[in-house]
Amino acid sequence: MIHGLTQLTYLAAAALFILSLRWLSHPKTARRGVAAGVGGMALAIIGTLFAPEIVNFSWIAIAAVVGIVIGVPLSWVPLTAVPQRTALSHAFGGLAAGLVGTAKYMIWFQHGELTPFRTGAIVLEIILGYLTFTGSLMAAGKLQEIVPTRPITYPNQNVVNLGLLAIAIGAGVYLTIDPYLPWAFAIVILLSLVFGVLLILPIGGADMPTVISLLNSYAGLSAVAMGFVLENKLLITAGALDGSSGLILSIIMCRAMNRSFTNVLFGAFGQVQAVAAAGEAKTAKSATPQDVGELLTNADRVVIVPGYGMAVAQAQHKVRELYDQLSKRGVDVKFAIHPVAGRMPGHMNVLLAEAEIPYDALVEMDDINSDLAQTDVALVVGANDVVNPAARHDKTSPIFGMPIIDVDKAKSVIAIKRSMNPGFAGIDNELYYLDHTLMAFGDAKQVLGDVVKAIAGESGGH
Amino acid sequence: MAELDLWSMLFVFMLATFVGFQVIQNVSRLLHTPLMSLTNAISAIAIVGAIVVTGEEESTATTILGAVAVAASMTNIVSGFLITDRMLKMFRERERKP
């Protein structure tokens, strides 16, 4: 009877989770999606608390309170820190899966109830769980810049990494055949933890959107494996939703960079660029905020291309002021969003939404590119590789073949940049040396503030 | 371990993966950051497994492991849903001029 009731809450929760993601398809219904998710979660938790196996509620209550105390402040982070928070939450998800897998192994070990099937599922759960845990912690550390953000490489890195993973899987297979080997279980845990760290070491910041998506997928799959261990179909369903979401996002990110999964994970992006640094001395034209203001106000159509630099400088609110000033003067302003701009999927959209820029002014890369030839001014704010024309024609460039926003086709280009140093991936950008490109040097927030002042001051003088 | 159960679990996994692909492909690219935080909160449903492991008090060690897993999952549930809602509140359309 009780069991049936619990299953009923699980069934309802699974339906609510699917509805939740369905409603997320459009900004208008999206918040309803959150409500459905919360409802499903609450139902499932209440249903579980009635499970007859539970004899003591005090530890559950204490742990839940601890989770709430950590979770609430984590939801207040500034939106520029959302990638770190997301990586951290993947780490927690992986940790939970790993710990429950470990506990189940210990319980079944004691009762002599380990079967090859159960052990196999547990091995899968702990490998995915623990490697997601340490891998995501590393990713969060890199995003927070506690850990060096440049790719860290050493000789035979891929051989070492894959060798470790192979040993872990080998020990896991051995364990599945003969489950009562605690030392082999310990080896699987240890190697998974180490592998997670090593997997993320060679990843550079530009690859973070893909890697975060992949870790998302792993976290989901570890929940699926946990569902197989506990024979819980709700866990399998929710984990599969999370896993497929992460996978879709990873595919989108990889396509947006014209790279494969293997290339992202084992390619150590940012290592081959020493060549580019030796280029001949080229000159770029620089512009004052007044020049920029004048160009923008005289334009009919302006496209703004935001990048990670905008997030670093927290310049989204100044971008909004500029948007307001230009819109007021009848200039048509759109934003071109590259899928991998920023450090996670959709990063730029959230920052611009925070600055109260209406979402219908944000245009996908594929939709804006045909408009750029008719655009008077393309304003690049802290974006670099995603607007580098070398991706279209320079076969020697590491980013050759990556789809880019064709800002060089606009009548004129203004790029706001801290200095002439190459961007994160360390690749020189020929866009800055084009005849119709002007560089505005300085912190994006500062420069945009001066531009807005210049525009406002000019109109005040009439 | 009944064989039938394994197969029904695999069926659930297969069907849920297809549903996931269908539903998530329809999510607007605008909302990919909230999507990630929402799916993250949803997959913290792992808490139900952690609750049982903690509550059945098999041994001190498993109770502690379970309790840490409950805390980690609860953190994801609370922060995931709250931050998703916070982000979604910010997405607004252009005000139509009269």
* Strand pairing class (A377-381; A437-441): unpaired
Cβ A93–B46 below 8 Å, yes or no?
Answer: yes
DSSP state of A152: P
Q: Sketch the domain layout of chain B as residue ranges.
A: 28-90
For an interface test with A, which of B17, B35, B48, B85 has the most A Cβ atoms less than 10 Å from its Cβ? Answer: B48
Size of interface A-B (CB pairs under 8 A): 374
Q: What is the dihedral sign for C-alpha A76, A313, A368, A250?
A: negative
C-beta of residue A382 within 8 angstroms of C-beta of residue A307: yes
Give the Cα separation of A435 and A199 in Å (integer). Answer: 42
Write out pLDDT tens, residues B8-23.
Answer: 999 999 999 999 999 9
DSSP state of A405: -
If phi over 0 gives left and psi between -120 and 50 gives alpha, with beta otherwise, what is residue A335? beta
Among A24, A48, A358, the residue with its CB nearest the CB of B92 is A358
> Residue A274 has what pLDDT?
42
Indicate the SS3 state at residue A269. coil
Cβ A51–B67 below 8 Å, yes or no?
Answer: no
Q: What's the whole-model pTM score?
A: 0.92
Among A71, A95, A361, the residue with its CB nearest the CB of B94 is A361
Tell me how close the Cα of B35 comes to any Cα of chain A, in angstroms: 7
To the nearest 10°, the Cα dihedral for A444, A449, A454, A455? 100
Confidence of residue B44 (pLDDT cuts 50, 70, 90): very high
Among B27, B53, B80, the residue with its CB nearest the CB of A104 is B53
Cβ A346–B40 below 8 Å, yes or no?
Answer: no
**Environment class of residue A164 by beta-carbon count within 10 Å: exposed (0-12), middle (13-18) or buried (19+)?**
middle
Indicate the SS3 state at residue A378. strand
C-beta of residue A424 within 8 angstroms of C-beta of residue A206: yes
Q: Which helix (H) or strand (E) holds A4?
A: helix A2-23
ipTM higher than the 0.85 cut: yes
Indicate the SS3 state at residue A377. strand
Q: Which two tokens stand for residue A454?
A: 């210049």
Q: Which helix (H) or strand (E) holds A364?
A: strand A362-364
Q: Which two tokens stand for residue A392?
A: 């279209």
Given a cut of 50, is residue B4 above it in pLDDT? yes
**CB < 8 Å to A235, chain B:** 45-46, 48-49
How many Cβ atoms from other residues are within 10 Å of residue A8's Cβ? 12
Tell me how close the Cα of B81 comes to any Cα of chain A, in angstroms: 6
Q: Which of residues 37-66 of B touch A (CB under 8 A)?
A: 37-59, 61-63, 65-66
Q: Which of residues 62-101 of A touch B (CB under 8 A)?
A: 62-64, 66-68, 70-72, 74-75, 77, 79, 82, 85-86, 89-90, 92-93, 95-97, 99-100
Indicate which residues of A carry an active-site annotation.
385
* Strand pairing class (A437-441; A285-286): parallel
Buried b (16+ CB within 10 A) or exposed e, A379-411: bbbbbbbbbbbbbeeeeebbbeebbbbbbbbbe
Give the Cα separation of A443 and A438 in Å (integer). Answer: 16
Continuous H helices in A205-288: 208-230, 233-257, 261-266, 274-277
Helix count (H) and strand count (E) of chain B?
A: 4, 0
> Residue A272 has what pLDDT?
45
Closest CA to A369 of A386, A394, A350: A386
Among B33, B46, B82, the residue with its CB nearest the CB of A350 is B33
Write out pLDDT tens, residues B77-95.
Answer: 999 999 999 999 999 877 6
> Residue A425 has what pLDDT?
55
Side-chain half-sphere exposure of A176, counting CA atoms within 13 A: 15
Give the Cα separation of A295 and A298 in Å (integer). Answer: 5
Q: What is the residue-level pLDDT of chain A in tens, covering all 462 positions?
A: 678 899 999 999 999 999 999 999 999 999 999 999 999 999 999 999 999 999 999 999 999 999 999 999 999 999 999 999 999 999 999 999 999 999 999 999 999 999 999 999 999 999 999 999 999 999 999 999 998 888 888 888 888 988 999 999 999 999 999 999 999 999 999 999 999 999 999 888 888 899 999 999 999 999 999 999 999 999 999 999 999 999 999 999 999 988 887 777 776 554 444 444 444 557 788 899 999 999 999 999 999 999 999 998 999 999 999 999 999 999 999 999 999 999 999 999 999 999 999 999 999 999 999 999 999 999 999 998 899 999 999 888 888 889 999 999 999 999 998 877 655 556 778 899 999 999 999 999 999 999 999 998 876 544
**CB < 8 Å to B83, chain A:** 74-75, 77, 82, 85
DSSP collapsed to 3 states, A53-67: CCCCCHHHHHHHHHH
Cβ A107–B40 below 8 Å, yes or no?
Answer: no
* Strand pairing class (A412-417; A301-306): unpaired
**CB < 8 Å to A10, chain B:** 48
Confidence of residue B2 (pLDDT cuts 50, 70, 90): low
